Amino acid sequence: MADADSPKQRLLSAVIAHIQRSGITNLSLRELAAAIRTSHRMLLYHFGSREGLMVAVVHVVEDQQRAFLADLIESSPLAARNDVMRTMWQRLANPHLWPNERLFFELYVAALHERPGTAGMLDDIVEAWVRPMVVFARERGLDVELAETDTRLGVAVVRGLLLDLLATRDRAAVDRAFERYLALLPPI
């Protein structure tokens, strides 16, 4: 892991805090630099481009979410999968994280279009979530193939529901859809 006190990490932390407060849509690199009290040249030096900076932000935020999941699993070794998933959903569906999630989807699409600066964005974008949940499911007796299939489906469903939530802001309807999905899963 990178040194948390390095100039690059301090800039990245400031950018993440700014995004969580104000969002990022249509914000130029110069405007972002001004908002976090640095220069756009420093951001370019450390991240190469606006897209490179945004990809770095997504990686940090995704790492934080997976760390939360790992802590949740570790602190609740006997928890049922649906309970773990419900707790994770409540975290991801929190409006405080919506700016990060909008950025995630914006960059996901940019990476699919191979926009400059997004190289590496798609590397491990699904598998990094699948691996820990497969281990979790296997520890509860699910066979490997079913664990992998259910987990990949879960990643897709959660991402789709997050898109729905961001587009409609209908939390009640999206929560009902999430609960319906959980009801369809075999209990483990």
Looking at residue 54, its pLDDT comes to: 86
Domain CATH number, residue 120: 1.10.357.10
pLDDT score of 24 more than 80: no
pLDDT at 25: 67
Q: Is 100 helix (H, G, I), strand (E, B) or coil?
A: helix
State the amino acid at position 87 in one-letter form: T
**Burial level of 184, CB count in 10 A (0-12/13-18/19+)?**
exposed
Portion of the chain with pLDDT greater than 90, in percent: 58
Q: How high is the pLDDT of residue 70?
A: 93
* Total domains, the chain: 1
Question: Model confidence over 144-187: pLDDT tens digits?
Answer: 899 999 999 999 999 999 999 999 999 999 999 999 999 998 87
- Tell me if 145 is assigned to some domain: yes
State the pTM of this model: 0.86
Max Cα distance, the chain (Å) = 53
* 121-149 per-position pLDDT tens digit: 899 999 999 999 999 888 888 898 999 99
**Residue 152 belongs to what domain range?**
50-184
Q: CA nearest 56: which of 118, 102, 106? A: 118
CA atoms within 13 A on the CB side of 150: 24
Q: Cβ of 41: how many Cβ atoms within 10 Å? A: 11
Q: Residue 34 domain-assigned? A: no
Q: Which amino acid does the sequence have at 67? A: A
